[in-house]
Structure 1
Amino acid sequence: MPNRVFIPLTLSEPAPVVADARVESLSGLTMGTSWSVKLIRSATHTLENIGEGIRQQLDLVVAQMSTWSDDSDLSRYNRAAAGSWHVMPAHFCKVLDCALAVAECSDGAYDPSIGPLVNLWGFGPAPARPDAPDASALAQARARCGWQRVRIDRSRNALLQPGGLYLDFSSIAKGYGVDLVTAYLRGIGVPSYLVEVGGELRGYGVKADGQPWWVGLEQPPAPAGDDEHMQNIVALHGMALATSGDYRRYFDYEGRRYSHTIDPRTTQPIAHRLASVTVLHADCMSADAWATAMMVLGDEEGLQLAQRIGLAALFIRRDADGFRESMTPAMQAMLA
């Protein structure tokens, strides 16, 4: 299988590690998925203590942003009475600000208020559904959505519940969890690490042999017998990546496949030929949200927007004879 290598242009000179430095691993479960960390640690911290610190960062995300946890800050807000104000934690507000910025820039292709539609289609905390919802139910759910309905009192980090607004951070919280874990590791002096939560990654530093953390970009499942599909790998030092794909969660009904990625503008699961998109960004929160936005927009409209804002993105589209790739200039510039 041929390889194609991407090296970030912003690659700074990483601090060297000792020649006999050993890569150690930690892993666990969070946010309905798995997490893993590979790292080179100093002798001042035990692996057990580092693992506990990592879990604290991920638990913070769940406590503030999970729609699956009834007592999270997000869930309490979602079921609050119309007209009520709610002072929200700083981390919550940071994620919401990023989500709203992506929503505005994408003209609503990304929308953190899409929760009612996600739930109606069976991809949220509610039980999965075996069929497609009817037009009346979709119209009712859509009436509750709209990122423009979000009102924030910046003086006290308070969020207005206008009535029926249901925020969903599922497309950004894992990325922010990666960012929190990396900030924690940097804060305790870990010189080199690779953090992954649900497939979203961020890396820093080099290993004992001087090599960075090489990561293969996630790709759609190849057709049977296709052994020549290009493998893309990236040196993940000082960068994060996130991938969104239509093959991760879906259900089939009456001969059609319904993806878990919902277009807020149409209320429908995406139906174009874009199979996946990978975004490289300085932080994983932004990469996570933009990967979803690009997936909704599709390879043509998404590519145009990504080019306009200077986003590094790789699009993989299904064609009659297999897959076709396209990438932004910012991504092309990383080709080694």
Structure 2
Amino acid sequence: MERLQGRTMGTTWSVTLVRPDTVDPQALAAGIQRQLDAVVAQMSTWEADSDLSRFNRAPAGTWQPLPAEFYAVLEHALALARDTDGAYDPTVGPLVELWGFGPVRRDREPPPAEAIAAARARVGWQQVRLDPERRSAWQPGGVYVDLSSIAKGFGVDQVARHLDAAGVSDYLVEVGGELRGRGRRPDGQPWQVAIERPGAAAGAVGRLDEVERVLSLDDRAVATSGDYRHAFEDDGAIYSHHIDPRSGRPVPHRIASVTVAARQAVDADPLGTTMMVLGPEEGMAYAVAHDVAVLFILRTDAGFEERMSPAFATLLGTGTKTP
């Protein structure tokens, strides 16, 4: 079993794999890096010359041709926005910027109501139209698409596709905490990943008391969203980076973290954000109706409380809960 690693999207990537003798590890690592670099070049709001940044700066009332991958991810994001009535919305960028969680550095403090109203006027997934024949997107003017909640998941899937094409059939891909596993470890067991308990130290979970669940990834991806890493405090109130596009404000409910498992990371990634925005009741109703495997960890006066969908409970047939 070997491990390849590198940096991307302001974080790290790693691939743990059983490498066939015919596969050169250096060439494989270089190929993985190229896949992730391509995602950044197309979909990063942090890169001024990315295809996404150019779309966001495009003149009002223009059709903008997009690379195939960018177009596919935007189409996927808009479909989820439509399906959730805007609880998930890839045009949330102006609000992310306003609250200080975007690439432009600014003081993190609650903005005035009039600024929130102005930003909300620029938000709305319905404003972006797609032309599949020309593979183009309509920039009506002032729309700022932010794909941070889905591009990383797409990157994980791109790495998996690259490994498949290279003849690697047993691997665990990780990009910034989002994972996808296929095949088996050398001992014949499925890849197992730890779902961290909210408040655990950043980075790899190193102690059992930092583990909430252990999940087996058998040709499956998993993504966890939490409110305890990217947040700020002001006058005793905590504001997380999960912005509700419908209100223009960080989500106010008591979800500490959400873990979503799906066949592809491009699904698990944005669904985690969606569940954070919908909240435990509406989110669980959506999960049950759409057969989404989701684990909520809620804050209560008595400590953390778990709620999981039937689909997630099914996945735990080979999982464990820590004492």
* Superimposed CA distance per residue, residues 150-206 of structure 1 (whole angstroms, 9 cap, x where no aligned partner): 111111111111000000000001100000000000011002100011111000111
Residue 219 of structure 1 and its aligned partner are, at CA, apart by 2.7
The match for 1:119 among 88, 91, 97 is 97
The match for 2:241 among 246, 260, 272 is 260
Residue 332 of structure 1 and its aligned partner are, at CA, apart by 1.4
Match of 1:15 in 2: none
SS in 1 for 2:153: helix
Contact 2:99–2:108 under 8 Å retained in 1 = no
Q: Aligned ranges for residues 117-156 of structure 1 at < 5 Å?
A: 117-156=95-134
Match of 1:20 in 2: none
**Aligned counterparts of 2:31 and 2:25: Cα–Cα separation in 1:** 10
The match for 1:314 among 295, 304, 310 is 295
The match for 1:233 among 194, 214, 222 is 214
User: Residue 319 and residue 227 in structure 1: after superposition, are their counterparts in 2 closer, same or farther (change >3 A)?
Assistant: farther
1:176 counterpart = 2:154: yes
Match of 1:324 in 2: 305
Residue 227 of structure 1 and its aligned partner are, at CA, apart by 7.7
Match of 1:250 in 2: 231
Q: Aligned ranges for residues 181-192 of structure 1 at < 5 Å?
A: 181-192=159-170
Contact 2:194–2:211 under 8 Å retained in 1 = no
SS in 1 for 2:104: coil
The match for 1:210 among 188, 194, 211 is 188
Residue 235 of structure 1 and its aligned partner are, at CA, apart by 1.2
- Give the count of matched residue pairs: 312
1:198 counterpart = 2:179: no
The unaligned stretches of length 5 or more in structure 1 are 1-22
Residue 335 of structure 1 and its aligned partner are, at CA, apart by 2.7
The match for 2:282 among 301, 305, 308 is 301
- Between Structure 1 and Structure 2, the one with more helix by share is 2
**Aligned counterparts of 1:60 and 1:49: Cα–Cα separation in 2:** 17
Give the structure-2-normalised TM-score.
0.94
The unaligned stretches of length 5 or more in structure 2 are 202-206, 318-323
The list of structure 1 runs, each at least 4 consecutive aligned residues, that deviate by more than 2 angstroms after superposition, is: 226-231
1:160 counterpart = 2:141: no
Identity %: 54
Contact 2:195–2:211 under 8 Å retained in 1 = no
Report the more deviating stretch, 25-34 or 302-311. Answer: 25-34
* Superimposed CA distance per residue, residues 120-165 of structure 1 (whole angstroms, 9 cap, x where no aligned partner): 1010101142321111111111111100111111111111110000
**Aligned counterparts of 1:229 and 1:250: Cα–Cα separation in 2:** 20
User: Residue 128 and residue 248 in structure 1: after superposition, are their counterparts in 2 closer, same or farther (change >3 A)?
Assistant: farther
**Aligned counterparts of 1:269 and 1:41: Cα–Cα separation in 2:** 44
| RMSD value, Cα | 1.5
**Aligned counterparts of 2:45 and 2:120: Cα–Cα separation in 1:** 18
Contact 2:196–2:210 under 8 Å retained in 1 = no
Letter in 2 for 1:309: H
Match of 1:3 in 2: none
**Aligned counterparts of 1:321 and 1:181: Cα–Cα separation in 2:** 41
